[in-house]
Structure 1
Amino acid sequence: MSTPSLPAYQYFNYEPVSGALGAQISGVQLNGDLKPEVVSELKQALLDFKVLFFRDQAMNDQDHADFARLVGTPADADFIPIVSEQFPMITRQQYDEYSRMGSDVSFHADDSFHKYPTKMSILRGVDMPDHGGDTIWVDMEKVYDSLSVPMKTLLQGLTAEHSLAKGFGSKILESGSGEDFDRMMTRNLPHTHPLVIRHPETGRKSIYCSELLTLKIHELEPEESELLLNYLCGKAFLPEFECRFKWKNNSVAWWDNRCTVHRGIDDFFPALRVMHRIAIADEQAPALDLDTALTRTISHLDIVPCNALDDEKSVGEAGSDDAPTDTLVEATAIDVDVKFLAKLNKKKAGIEFTPEAAMRVKQIPMMFRGAALSAIFSEATKQGASVVGLEILEEVRKSR
């Protein structure tokens, strides 16, 4: 039996991670002075394997941002916490004993709810657990190729709505703030994309839907839509379409959102897992017919503002009267939740919250509360404080 031929590269070595997709690259330091021909060949390898992995990359945030700009134009972080104001494109994803929301999301392509979803993502392992916390990627081109001709014909005439409300809406509502949900949805409106799209660089077709973010198929009845989406999304759980990566500190994954979905494995709680991510903005909206695809120009930008991801004015832009406020300092007065206060005061021995501080913490959306609590406890420890009041929240707000 013959084996498929593998591509050859001049400037680095690699090893396939699975038979479906993924390659681990060696012989390249991403924080070095990468020559244009090396970057070009890395881009080709990404098209070939869809996700690339790098070990032992001693990168800092500046290195991360510099590499991202070599391969595209970064998008800013939108509603996700960032590492610092100096790097508004680098999100900080932290899961620990204080929060695990967001660590258990199902398969998705990043930002598919935007009109112009981000085309690539670059994720760096900063502080990884010794065991668990792997990530799985799925080749959605192979999923498409596995379907029968009649099924492919059916799918190519369908469109689907992608929305944050499906995967995150109920969890944000669980945090007790309907205003947070409304604000998130106003800034991140649902968008419709073809169910089958064509990769703008390779021309290959893939399925464009995910369990986390695809809400419905417009052309079908609700029951039909649910059945078909369950069938297509269920393909992501078949091992023949997957690769799995075990993270270590200083590992980097770089993947193509236009032909893959991915998910993290939530099996490391309560260990700490800290990762930094940069998303690369796209010039073209997902399309099956590339000749009629929506396009835009972003190459002149240093970073694409989140409001520009949909190419329309959103609530929260500079000058808007409805700009969202920082929940750490601008929370409105609400009654004290005695149970929440008691639960919060059990989080860390020797540190208690004032009722006012606790209520402002409660107004932070649950998916961001863990990272906020870690920062609050760090600030309290730095100050030698045993009581967390509004002044400590203000210090954390200024530092974030």
Structure 2
Amino acid sequence: MKIEQLTCALGAELKDVRLADAINNDDLFASIKQALLDHKVLFVRDQPMSDAEHAAFARRFGQLEDHPLANSADGEPGIIHIWKTPDNPPERYENAWHNDATWREVPPMGSVLRCVECPPVGGDTMWANMELAYERLPEHIKQTIEGLRARHSMEASFMAARPIEDRLAMKARYPDPEHPVVRTHPETGRKSLFVNAFTTHFTNFHTAKNVRYGMDFHPGASDLLEYLIRQASIPEYQVRWRWSKDAVAIWDNRCTQHYAVMDYAPCIRRMNRATIVGDKPY
């Protein structure tokens, strides 16, 4: 297997490898997992595989989880369909920088995304290195956000356009969790910025240290949160991947964000994703 780094920030393409072989090959899987820790997102082209093989490979990283708003593949509940067609126009929430499912108390460790069908042009996906984003923050910002926590919401994102009864029912099922603003990676120990499009507000900002007068809290706290969320949009922290049929991306959701570029309507884009259960952020 060859590993070719794609940018200075993150991302590498794997060549001369068949991912399905790693289902039963411990040495190969160990090499892939180490490459993921090193590069944060991996790309592999020309990987035709069944949903069963896709799920079996992803399960080498851990247990798979479904999604409350996405259809699952027949016989493989761990494989969800992210299918966009002219009859199913892209939803507004998709093209925003985010870590997957931080509206869960325990967000995913990562995902394995396989391209089933893509537009001839467009439909790229971008990833951002949130460890680098944290590392390059001004020191006074790092000091300000040390120990801060923030609320993440499915209700205010995926469910915002739904009827109020559906929205409140889903919120009861997935109460808005609180996560650290700066997360420590459980395997590498590195710190990353952990706020994104699902983040609504800080939960412990309003203290005597931070708030002298009302405007220190609002708009002060909201301006700081917006500044932190915008860090993912800095090009020097990013890699951009152009899809082709049977291409696969594997990413570490604990230290990256991604953005699905919606520039391909009315073309069809069908992606199958296996999402891997993670651990509680700290």
| Contact preservation (8 Å) 1:128, 1:274 | yes
User: Which of 42, 56, 65 is 2:55 aligned to?
Assistant: 65
Is the alpha carbon distance of 1:103 and 1:111 closer, same or farther for their aligned partners in structure 2, counting shifts above 3 Å?
closer
Equivalent positions of 1:188-337 (< 5 A) are 188-210=174-196, 212-220=197-205, 221-282=217-278, 284-287=279-282
Question: Residue 202 of structure 1 aligns to a residue in which SS?
Answer: coil
| Contact preservation (8 Å) 2:43, 2:250 | yes
The 2-side partners of 1:102 and 1:14 are apart by: 35
User: Which of 88, 100, 110 is 1:120 aligned to?
Assistant: 110
**Cα offsets for 1:246-281 (capped at 9, x unmatched):** 011101000001101101001000100000001100
Q: Mark the runs of 5 or more structure 2 residues left unpaired by the alignment.
A: 206-216
| 1:96 to 2:96 alignment | no
Shift of 1:79: 3.0
Structure 2 equivalent of residue 361 of structure 1: none
| 1:22 to 2:11 alignment | yes
**Cα offsets for 1:184-226 (capped at 9, x unmatched):** 222221100110011011110010000x200001123242221
Question: Residue 234 of structure 1 aligns to a residue in which SS?
Answer: helix
The 2-side partners of 1:76 and 1:161 are apart by: 22
Structure 2 equivalent of residue 322 of structure 1: none
- TM-score norm. by structure 1 comes to 0.65
| 1:82 to 2:78 alignment | no
Counting matched residue pairs gives 269
Is the alpha carbon distance of 1:248 and 1:281 closer, same or farther for their aligned partners in structure 2, counting shifts above 3 Å?
same
Question: Residue 155 of structure 2 aligns to a residue in which SS?
Answer: helix
| Contact preservation (8 Å) 1:135, 1:262 | yes
Question: Residue 77 of structure 1 aligns to a residue in which SS?
Answer: coil
The 2-side partners of 1:206 and 1:260 are apart by: 8
**Cα offsets for 1:273-301 (capped at 9, x unmatched):** 0000011002x3100xxxxxxxxxxxxxx
What amino acid does structure 2 have at the position aligned with 1:278?
A
Equivalent positions of 1:42-61 (< 5 A) are 42-61=32-51
| 1:186 to 2:172 alignment | yes
| Contact preservation (8 Å) 2:93, 2:158 | no
Shift of 1:166: 2.7
67-76 or 256-265: bigger deviation: 67-76
Question: Residue 157 of structure 2 aligns to a residue in which SS?
Answer: helix
Shift of 1:34: 4.4
| Contact preservation (8 Å) 1:74, 1:280 | yes
| Contact preservation (8 Å) 1:105, 1:167 | no
What amino acid does structure 1 have at the position aligned with 2:158?
F
Question: Residue 40 of structure 1 aligns to a residue in which SS?
Answer: helix
**Cα offsets for 1:153-209 (capped at 9, x unmatched):** 22112100011123223333xxxx322222222222110011001101111001000
Shift of 1:75: 1.4
What amino acid does structure 1 have at the position aligned with 2:273?
R
Structure 1 equivalent of residue 209 of structure 2: none
Name which one, 1 or 2, has greater alpha-carbon Rg: 1
Structure 1 stretches (4+) deviating beyond 4 angstroms?
none
The 1-side partners of 2:4 and 2:24 are apart by: 21
Shift of 1:137: 0.4
| 1:110 to 2:96 alignment | no
Shift of 1:234: 1.2
The 2-side partners of 1:144 and 1:151 are apart by: 10
Structure 1 equivalent of residue 2 of structure 2: 13
**Cα offsets for 1:66-101 (capped at 9, x unmatched):** 1011221111233321122x1111110111112211
Structure 2 equivalent of residue 148 of structure 1: 138
The 2-side partners of 1:101 and 1:253 are apart by: 22
The 2-side partners of 1:228 and 1:40 are apart by: 39
| Contact preservation (8 Å) 1:29, 1:57 | yes
More helix by share: 1
Please, what is the CA RMSD of the aligned residues? 1.4
Is the alpha carbon distance of 1:169 and 1:76 closer, same or farther for their aligned partners in structure 2, counting shifts above 3 Å?
closer
More strand by share: 2
The 2-side partners of 1:58 and 1:169 are apart by: 34
- TM-score norm. by structure 2 comes to 0.91
The 1-side partners of 2:67 and 2:93 are apart by: 18
The 2-side partners of 1:65 and 1:236 are apart by: 29
